Structure 1
Amino acid sequence: MPNYDGRVFVSLENTENGEVDDQTRFAYHQNGFSVWADYAGGDIVRGHLVGTTDEDGRLHFL
């Protein structure tokens, strides 16, 4: 299982109505199968993702 803790991601592309751009940074954290991220940048002041990962490293967010 990959570990996402401490990784930072940037979106490569977005949907037409999305607000995320290449200035938005997603800082990931992980504890076991629980994964969460804080993000900000560009037009985004602050956001949070909460989800899980599976044995194959696929992310599932709520």
Structure 2
Amino acid sequence: MNDTDLLNGRRFVMISSTASEVNADAPTEFAYEESGGVIWGHYTGDTVVHGRFVGTRDADRIEISYVHLLKTGERASGRGASRIETAEDGRLRLVEEFRFEDDDTTHVSICAEVV
């Protein structure tokens, strides 16, 4: 999966996470930009007021750092690594393993592309 700027302009919604229950009516939504393997974007929804991420993509592997503001007023940050998969319907899925800055637990989330 070496398509140049593969993620540019794509949107994803979280469908599951081991870190928290996902609100199916208002899941966290992620907007991706990519240029030359550098990725960045923002996200909001569910428990997140506003979040930002930046990182890199190499083939089907993404590595990011992120920070977001929660509705509780707390800030969360950390690092994650995602695997890009193609679903049967052709949409992309992101399977991410991530850790919060102040937690040694590895969490897993799955996001599905919005078309």
TM-score range, shorter chain: 0.7 to 0.9
Q: Greater Rg, structure 1 or structure 2?
A: 2
Structure with the bigger percentage of strand: 2
Q: Which amino acid aligns with 1:8?
A: R
The answer on 1:43 being equivalent to 2:47 is: yes
Structure 1 stretches lacking a partner, 5+ long: none
- Give the TM-score of the pair, scaled to structure 2: 0.46
The CA RMSD measured in Å over matched residues stands at: 1.8
Between the two structures, name the one with larger relative contact order (CA 8 Å, sep ≥ 6): 1
Q: CA deviation at 1:21?
A: 4.4
Return the alpha-carbon distance in structure 1 between the equivalents of residues 20 and 62 of structure 2.
20
Confirm or deny: 8 A CA contact 2:15 2:22 kept in the other structure.
no
Deviations 1:3-55 (A, max 9, x none): 1000001112112x44764421000000111001200012211001110001x
The verdict on how the C-alpha distance between 1:30 and 1:20 changes in structure 2, with shifts beyond 3 A counting, is: farther
Count of aligned pairs: 60
Structure 2 stretches lacking a partner, 5+ long: 66-115
Confirm or deny: 8 A CA contact 1:19 1:43 kept in the other structure.
no
**Runs of 4+ in structure 1 displaced over 6 angstroms?**
none
